[in-house]
Structure 1
Amino acid sequence: MKSKLWNMLPHEYAPFFRILHIIVAFLILSQIINSNLTDAEALTDHSLEGIITWIHVVSGLGLIVCGFLMLIWMLSQRGFSYYFAWVKLDFDGIKQDIKTLMNYRLPDAHSGGIASTIQGLGVLALLSVALSGGLWFLLNTLQSNLAYSVMHWHKFLTTFIEIYFYAHGAMGLLHLFIQQYKSRSAAIDD
């Protein structure tokens, strides 16, 4: 069962990226769960709230590293235009995918398409949230007055990574169910 599930996961051609993807997903889920149990004032406490806050900080710093590893790997494998064609005002891939969706078919991932654009935006959302959290931690440690403002930006940007996390996860599960359905249909037809 475990190997069957492993083989159903995307990015079978790149085990490093597959594992990095899973690590990032678990770290983000951890951040979402423990974020409501953190308190900046608890960083100096030896309490459960202090421990949870430190777990949030350390895993957030880990997400900065993982986010940059993911971005570097993506860019080295497929290049900037694959994920960020919209920056160059190239929307042809998105238009092509919309036409495919209008025909009640799911488009394949390709350069400048919806899937690649969303993946690029997801990594940018991840990095913006993680970096703003890291900046807050640095400013808070330095007792800067800017820490409070950066914390508000961090919380605001978190909205985007949470939306991405849930939507991306739902689409991933839908993909797995469609793949499972197709493989069962093919087995029945044989």
Structure 2
Amino acid sequence: MSLKSSKFVKLISEKLHVIVITLSVFLVVTSPWILIGSRLRAKASIWDSLHVYIGLIAAIFGLLFLLKNLLNGHWRQFFPWLKLDFSQCVDEIKQLKQGKLPSSGGKGIFSIVEGIGLLLMALVSITGIAWFILQGTSDALMWRKYHIMFAQGFVGFLMLHIVFAAFHIIDMVRNS
């Protein structure tokens, strides 16, 4: 790999979070105008075409983002329940009762919700890719249904992510 291409790969890797969020927001905001059934029509609207092709790009970046987080060992942070480690989450729930916001990072509430977001993003990506590959077949509508269901969950996560980001900023301002 040349020096230029390795710098480009490093830049993309560092910006994956922003890329995924930007593409996701575009797809969510424009989704009310999408009219796709079991296949992309030959004379599809610009919104349908953009949703499909930008969605495929977003799916690739989303899966790369998941992979980056899993390979860098962050799976322990986002999925502490896989090791039956609930200690920080339980502590933060107790502190919530006392009016204290959860901390960012670690294996607490915010991180577990981010892990759920990573899973939802992966499921939206996988079901969208499956729907695209199987378009025109009898299974396409099933994958469409799953894609929409997981996309709705991901939209809920995005809204929660915005709220948690605001809490994180409040926490940073308080502690500075």
Give the TM interval when normalised to the shorter protein: 0.7 to 0.9
How many residue pairs align between the two structures?
165
TM-score, length-normalised on structure 2?
Answer: 0.80
Match of 2:3 in 1: none
The alignment yields a C-alpha RMSD, in angstroms, of 2.5
Match of 1:73 in 2: 68
Matched-pair identity in %: 25
Q: Deviations over 1:37-95 (max 9, x none)?
A: 122265311x6x2x211111112112222222212222233342221121333322211
TM-score, length-normalised on structure 1?
Answer: 0.75
Match of 1:33 in 2: 29
Q: Distance in 2 between matches of 1:99 and 1:155?
A: 35
CA contact (8 A) 2:110 2:164 kept: no
Q: Are positions 1:158 and 2:156 aligned together?
A: no
Distance 1:179 1:18, change over 3 A: farther
CA contact (8 A) 1:93 1:110 kept: no
For structure 2, the 5+ residue unaligned runs are 1-10
- Bigger mean CA offset, 36-45 vs 162-171: 36-45
CA contact (8 A) 2:101 2:167 kept: no
Q: Are positions 1:134 and 2:115 aligned together?
A: no
Q: Distance in 2 between matches of 1:108 and 1:170?
A: 13
Among 81, 88, 91, the residue aligned to 1:93: 88
For structure 1, the 5+ residue unaligned runs are 1-14
**Residue identity opposite 1:24 in structure 2:** V
Deviation at residue 146 of structure 1 after TM alignment: 0.6
Distance 1:134 1:29, change over 3 A: same
Q: Are positions 1:114 and 2:109 aligned together?
A: yes
- Bigger mean CA offset, 117-126 vs 16-25: 16-25
